[in-house]
């Protein structure tokens, strides 16, 4: 019988206020090396559910995750946005914390991120470019691209980000519907124009800034990958995300 961390009951404070519950949401695609290195460092007590959404890996990633007792969803449609959408009905917590198991995300920052969210922020971003942090996975192109997108989002939408693109972040699950991140029409045009599937982190950053939500960056290094291959579509994703940045000046208030 599969163990599930989602079976925990929601606790209450002495004032009978519900305690924040957290789902660690981890998208994978052939990440067996990183999973074996990184996931043993993730303590079970840090969150209420560990949910793996696997993009039909062929290296045993999903089987490994099941053996560890994690909840596993095997996605049917390709692309990380589809991974999130297919995982969403299985998320049983108030908060989603998205995490990369390929070595780029430092596990020890999970409780730091959660504690910061408990202070009342709508979203906490583990920033590779905040003071004191560094990306060891960037090259010249990705480093410049991240700076360009973050700077443009800040200028056009009133953000104060140091890293508007990173996957490593925590936010209340209700933001997904409140910001229309779960609607295909939020992405249809750019995905058709540039023949790709995008993720929702950049749009999440943009719409949080437009709504003037309470967001904070905390510094966190981005180590080099642990095995596997980078799945970046630099030109297509870059074009699609820049389209989003400028489109949002005129639509979705």
Say if 172 falls within a structural domain.
Answer: yes
What does the block give as tokens for 36? 């074996």
Q: Report whether pLDDT(61) > 90.
A: yes
Phi, then psi, of 54 in degrees rounded to 5? -105, 130
Write down the pLDDT at residue 2. 39
Q: Is residue 182 assigned to a domain?
A: yes
Two structure tokens written together for 46: 């840090």
Tally of structural domains, the chain: 1
The pLDDT mean for the chain works out to 90
Tell whether 8 is covered by a domain: no
| Band of pLDDT at residue 64, cut at 50, 70 and 90 | very high
252 part of a folded domain: no
Q: Please tell me the predicted confidence (pLDDT) of residue 5.
A: 40
**Predicted pLDDT of residue 6:** 42
Task: Give the mean model confidence (pLDDT) for residues 1-29.
Answer: 66
- Going by pLDDT thresholds of 50, 70 and 90, the confidence category of residue 7 is very low
At 22, the pLDDT band (50, 70, 90 cuts) reads: very high
Residue 121 in domain? yes
pLDDT at 253 over 70: no
CATH of the domain at 31: 3.90.550.10
DSSP 8-class letter at 22: E
Its domain, for residue 97, covers: 19-247
Residue 32 confidence (pLDDT) above 90? yes
**pLDDT attached to residue 15:** 57
As a whole-number percent, the residues of the chain with pLDDT over 90 amount to: 81
CA-based nearest residue to 240, from 185, 184, 199, 179 = 199
- Residue 18: phi and psi, rounded to 5, are -65, 140
In the predicted model, is pLDDT for residue 10 greater than 80?
A: no
Residue 229 pLDDT more than 80? no
Q: 35 pLDDT band (50/70/90 cuts)?
A: very high
In the chain, which ranges are continuous DSSP H helix?
Answer: 32-38, 61-67, 80-87, 110-118, 140-157, 174-178, 188-194, 201-210, 234-247
Determine which of 55-59, 110-114, 137-141 has the lowest per-residue pLDDT on average: 137-141
Instruction: Using pLDDT thresholds of 50, 70 and 90, give the confidence band for residue 252.
Output: low
Give the 3-state DSSP-derived string for 114-171, with helices as H, strands as E and coil as C: HHHHHCCCCEEEEECCCCCCCECCCCHHHHHHHHHHHHHHHHHHCCCCCCCCCCCEEE
Pick from 170, 179, 178, 129: nearest CA to 150: 129
Query: What pLDDT band is residue 198 in, cutting at 50, 70 and 90?
Result: very high
Burial of 244 (0-12, 13-18, 19+ CB in 10 A): buried
Q: Is the pLDDT of residue 96 over 50?
A: yes
Domain assignment present for residue 181? The answer is yes
Whether 10 maps to a domain, the answer reads no
Residue 4 lies in a domain: no
Count of CA atoms in the C-beta half-sphere (13 A) of 110: 28
pLDDT greater at residue 234 or residue 78: 78
More confident residue, 164 or 5: 164
């Amino acid at each position: 019988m599969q163990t599930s961390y989602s079976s925990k009951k929601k606790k209450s404070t002495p004032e009978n206020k519900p305690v924040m519950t957290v789902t660690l949401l981890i998208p994978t695609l052939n990440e067996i090396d990183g999973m074996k290195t990184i996931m043993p460092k993730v303590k079970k007590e840090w969150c209420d559910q560990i949910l793996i959404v696997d993009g039909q890996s062929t290296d045993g990633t999903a089987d490994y995750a099941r053996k560890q007792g994690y909840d596993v969803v095997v996605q049917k449609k390709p692309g990380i946005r589809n991974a999130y959408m297919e995982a969403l009905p299985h998320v049983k917590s108030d908060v989603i914390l998205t995490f990369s198991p390929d070595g780029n995300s430092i596990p020890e920052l999970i409780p730091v991120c959660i504690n910061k969210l408990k202070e009342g922020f709508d979203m906490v971003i583990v920033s590779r470019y905040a003071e004191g942090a560094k990306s060891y996975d960037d090259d010249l192109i990705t480093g410049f691209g991240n700076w360009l997108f973050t700077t443009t989002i800040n200028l056009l939408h009133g953000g104060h980000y140091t890293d508007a693109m990173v996957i490593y972040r925590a936010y209340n699950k209700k933001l997904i519907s409140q910001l229309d991140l779960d609607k295909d029409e939020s992405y249809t045009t750019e995905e058709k124009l540039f023949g790709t599937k995008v993720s929702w982190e950049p749009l999440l950053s943009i719409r949080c800034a437009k709504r003037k939500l309470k967001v904070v960056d905390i510094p966190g290094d981005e180590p080099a990958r642990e095995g596997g291959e980078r799945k970046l579509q630099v030109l297509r994703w870059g074009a699609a995300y820049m389209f989003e940045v400028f489109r949002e000046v005129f639509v979705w208030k």
